[in-house]
Amino acid sequence: MKNLGLKSGIEIHQQLATGKLFSRCQSKLISSNPDFTISRRLRALAGEMGKVDVAAAHAAEKKLTYIYEVHNNNTSLVEMDEEPPEVINQDALDIGLLVCKMLNCRIIPYLQVMRKTVVDGSNTSGFQRTCLVGVDGYIKTSAGKVGIDTVVLEEDSARRTGETKDTVTYRLDRLGIPLLEIATAPDMKTPDQVKEVAQILGTMLRSTGNVMRGIGTIRQDVNISIKGHARVELKGVQDLQQIPKITEIEAKRQKAEIDMKRKTDSHVRNVKEDLTSKFLRPMPGASRMYPETDIPTIKVDMDRVKTMNIPELIPERINRYKKLGLNDELSKRMADSKKNEVFDRAMKKQNLNPTLVATTLLSTEKELKRKLKTELGIFPVEFYSRLFKALDEGRLTNESISKVMERFMKGEDFDKIISEFKPMSDSALLKLIKDNYDENLPQGALIGKIMNKVAGKADGKKVAKLIVEFKK
């Protein structure tokens, strides 16, 4: 790759875990049938420069009809382009400003929301609202600094659900979800460095605790050029592990074009399943941008930005959890979990076992959902606070945790549940052991028999200890 003069940059698009950017709708994808549909035809208009963008013109030439699926519970007139946008979501903007600090960016003091012409149907209005938040940052990699050209806050597009020869169908549940776009400088010189930068940026974003998780919530576009070839943007790069191979394939494709003396204009390509790519559209340019007239300029409170604390990065959190006594796997899972703050608060108590708390937060809820065959029952932070407080104060045993959570998930009152799981006294346990003792049973079987009788009101270690004492 070095002999080819590879230059690469990457664009990360990350959905933020807030409501929508310019309406007060929730950011949630819906699988049920839509309440109704609307149809539109879109055409390309001249931008602020007085010219029609080449990529917009390319999309308009297809003359397709776009059908939009609408759900009443998370789509407003803003997403349908039937009323002006509301003020920008402050929570989303704060996340963007925090990420700028993490990336050592210069924050723009006055933010101007722009309209970016997009007429492929993914926006009902024919444009995407976008806002430049920060510029001129950098991150450190194993091969040196990599520049961060821009950090942009914008609305995500509608999601495609079907198409025919003459129509494309989109669902509006995704349209308007806040999307943070981080664009690096073309500073990467090897395929492995491209992968490393994507991993670093993804880790930094997850470290904020304010981004969405799951398939489709983060997307990467890789920009690649070799010496003598124009820049090509590759879309549809989902798996970070495939980035080096995709980069290598594209570099070789560009080398073949140079060898055949083909014209090498900048354009956008889509990555296919076999990691090769196909032409998608011409490279868009500055002609597609013009100001959003329905939203006033936003003055950034720079004093407030100064008070924003840069979060602990996930790798640092992993090391801290290992020192607490978690093994490697639990440390990584807990550090990358949205429940890490609940874990940290629990660890301020005196008598809690870190491994028990971590497994309760990471595994018990999932196990109960499988057992009860339900998707309901995501436990609020307040529940875990009360649960771990009761455990710390000796009002619950370790063995009762899953039973308490199961009954709470079924809708029972927390205080009532706790009262029924009050730990047994040593004297009551000894009496229970005496009444159920069978000298013909192996130690393990006897412990199991007693544990079934106590029904979560005593810890296994204490039962085993008292059985040994009774034998004496």
The residue among 304, 326, 347 that closes a domain is 304
Count of Cβ atoms closer than 10 Å to residue 440 Cβ: 6
Backbone φ and ψ of 9, nearest 5°: -130, 165
DSSP 21: S
Q: What is the pLDDT along the chain (472 residues), one digit of tens a residue?
A: 668 899 999 999 999 999 999 999 999 999 999 999 999 998 877 777 778 888 778 888 888 999 999 999 989 999 999 999 999 999 999 999 999 999 999 999 999 999 998 889 999 999 999 999 999 999 999 999 999 999 999 999 999 999 999 999 999 999 999 999 999 999 999 999 999 999 999 999 999 999 999 888 999 999 999 999 999 999 988 888 999 999 999 999 999 999 999 988 999 999 999 999 999 989 887 778 899 999 999 999 999 999 999 999 999 999 999 999 999 999 999 999 989 999 999 999 878 999 999 999 999 988 888 888 776 657 888 999 999 998 888 888 888 888 889 889 888 899 998 887 776 666 666 666 665 666 656 666 666 666 565 655 666 565 566 666 656 5
126 phi, psi to nearest 5 deg: 85, 5
Smallest CA-to-CA distance from 197 within 240, 249, 261 is with: 240
The answer to whether residues 132 and 107 belong to one domain is yes
Q: What DSSP state is assigned to residue 420?
A: H
pLDDT at position 441: 62
- 152 with 250, same domain: the answer is yes
Q: Residue 178 CB: number of other CB atoms within 10 A?
A: 28
Structural domain count of the chain: 3
Alpha carbon distance 313, 10 (integer Å): 21
Determine contact, residues 240/198, Cβ cutoff 8 Å. yes
Residue-by-residue DSSP string for 225-278: E-TTS--EEEEEE--GGGHHHHHHHHHHHHHHHHHTT-----EEEEE-TTS-EE
Domain residues for 253?
2-304
In-domain check, residue 141? yes
Residues 327 and 464 in one domain: no
Query: Is the residue at 49 inside a domain?
Result: yes
DSSP one-letter string for 385-401: HHHHHHHHTTSS-GGGH
Query: Does the residue 237 lie in any domain?
Result: yes
Same domain, yes or no: 386 and 438: no
204 and 332 in a single domain? The answer is: no
Residue 82 lies in a domain: yes
pTM of the model: 0.86
Task: List the structure tokens of 338.
Answer: 């949205």
